[in-house]
Chain A
Amino acid sequence: MKEHDPIVFVIDDDRMIRDGLQSLIRSVGLRVETFASAQDFLGTKRPDTPACLVLDVRMPGLSGLDLQMKLRDDGIPIPIIFITGHGDIPMSVRAMKEGAHEFLTKPVRGQDLLDAVQKALVSDRELRQERREANEIHARFESLTPREKEVLELVVAGLLNKQIADQLGMSELTVKTHRAHVMEKTQAESLAHLVRMSEKLKTATRK
């Protein structure tokens, strides 16, 4: 299996359930890693691939909800599928509020779990893609000189070359040169593309 194949982490303190879930998920060709506790999971180095977490809510030591909080606080975005016994409704509400991807009740039907896993992986893949793009745009924008950044700001704001030249106190010809550099460095195909990238970057940093 290749390193960037998606991976499913299963965390459950009950070995029999853990093995069953692992076998089930493996049967559809997905890569699985199992852990007996949340601490074990945190102590392991995770490969940089799309992934999701299948997590038992009730565990000795760090509970499923505790782990969710910790991952969120550490800035590790990974979709979580919670599995819980009966009578955990307040818990499930809390988990969903904190952004759990799915909440399944024990005993879980195999197909339900597999569907949830697939959806979670797709979602993670998309998120990762978005993050990667944002990173790339960020890198490109970072390569601009301070002067070029100033020009970019005004271009995106919709000003004409002449207006920009007036505002920054330079000739229109210089503005045109800077503008060409900006388009080149950011690999923008058009003014519209440049504006879109700029917006994306702003949303990403806001997040």
Chain B
Amino acid sequence: MGRRIDASPRVHKLARYALAIGLVALALLISLALQHSFGNPFWFFFSVAVILSTWFGRTGPGWLSVVCSILAVMYYFTPPIRSFAVTPNDLPYFVTFVACEVGATQLISWRRHTEDALRRARDMLEIRVAERTVELKNANEALLKRMEEQRRTEETLQATRAELARAARITTIGELTASIAHEVNQPLAAIVANADACVAWLSREHPDLAEARAAAERATQGATRASDVIARIRSLITKATPERSRVEINRVMEETAILAAGQATTNRVSIELQLSPGSPIVLGDSIQLQQVILNLVMNGIDAMTTVTDRPRTLTLRSELQDTGHIRVAVQDSGIGLTEEVKGRLFEPFFTTRSKGMGMGLSISRSIIEAHGGRLWGESNGTGGATFQFTLPCEDGPTG
């Protein structure tokens, strides 16, 4: 396509001039041949020669054909014949002929220029369009490639995430199993040792009933302990309704603060207690509630281990609400929660720590919900996070 624009200049200049001379010669021959039948037809054939020369040969050959035509007409067709002279009689006619020829070549030349310009413009446009099309196509391909890459990365990410989750779950199950095995095995070992001792005391020549009884009692205690362990595991797994008793929530919080004191000191965290007046009572399982608070406190302490630009303070607050609920809040000045973390806080096996099961908050929420309450976490405006839960309160404080 691009080649067409260069075609005309490439046609040999001489060939174009030769074409002009040839056409004029042809017109001359035809005019000479026909002059006896048609009178003076020369202006018609010469005009055609000029028009064609100008059209195909451009301006130069056009002018050449005009000059040649005029000379030929002067020589062959204006009296005196076979001379370049023109009689005054024929002058108006001759001048008209010259004007016609000049006009024709000018007009055609101009037309041809316009035509060429138009074609060049069109070709240019086509080239541009082609170029842009190629560019667009490339861009499109690149985009598709990027999308494909993206898709593949996402797939890999998804697979890795699934793999990680599975690994975490397996590890957790492994840890749990090992821990359960140990917890159950201890009382079993005690039962076996004591039962064997009991038999041994009874098998003596003079059976020692007191010793045998003591051993048997210890065996029973061991069995009770084993069944407690199993009950605890079962309640953890089935999230059974917790045991309900009257719990002084403030006291549970105080005890938790004492339990966490060692960890807090190690991490240079100060624990502040802001307890609601009176002794609000909730119905529930004090051990489980303490687990929840301790879990939140430990999380808070962990979140502050990297903080160096502000005091590491953990505030434990309880507040009676108008709705008859008590609100327990654990506020830290730690790293806070990103949106991503916030959205997944309570997912089982989700953790931001390198060592951790990611079960703490998930279990805590189950416990609070089983108590008819709600547990949630949010970022503080001033940095750090606050985790809080509400629990329905028993009517009227005691003590």
Contact = CB atoms under 8 A, between A and B. Distances in A.
The dominant DSSP class at the B interface is helix
What interface size band does chain B fall in? 20 to 34
Given A27-B204, A85-B182, A110 B196 contact: yes
Interface string A29-58: 000000000000000000000000000001
A20 B215 CA distance: 7
Contacts of B197: 20-21, 23-24, 26-27, 110
A20 B208 CA distance: 15
Contact of A106 (B185, B199, B208): B185
Nearest to A83: B189
A27 B194 CA distance: 11
B94 to A, nearest CB: 126
A19 interface: yes
Interface stretch (B43-51, B217-225, B346-354): B217-225
Nearest to A24: B197
Interface in B179-208: 181-182, 185-201, 204, 208
B188 A24 contact: no
Given A27-B204, A106-B189, A108-B189, A20 B182 contact: no
B193 A27 contact: no
B154 interface: no
Nearest to A23: B197
B201 A21 contact: no
A86 B185 CA distance: 9
B181 A86 contact: yes
A14 to B, nearest CB: 6
Given A24-B200, A27-B211, A110-B200, A14 B190 contact: yes
Contact of A23 (B189, B192, B194): B194
Given A14-B186, A27-B204, A114-B200, 15 more contacts: A16-B187, A16-B194, A17-B186, A20-B193, A23-B193, A23-B198, A23-B201, A23-B218, A24-B215, A27-B197, A27-B208, A107-B193, A108-B189, A110-B196, A111-B196
Interface of B: 178, 181-182, 185-201, 204, 208, 211, 214-215, 218-219, 221-222, 225
29 contacts: A14-B190, A16-B187, A16-B218, A16-B222, A19-B218, A20-B190, A20-B192, A20-B197, A20-B218, A21-B197, A23-B194, A24-B197, A24-B200, A27-B201, A27-B211, A28-B200, A83-B189, A85-B182, A86-B181, A106-B185, A106-B186, A106-B189, A107-B185, A107-B188, A107-B191, A107-B192, A108-B193, A111-B196, A114-B200
Interface of A: 14, 16-17, 19-21, 23-24, 26-28, 58, 83, 85-87, 106-111, 113-114
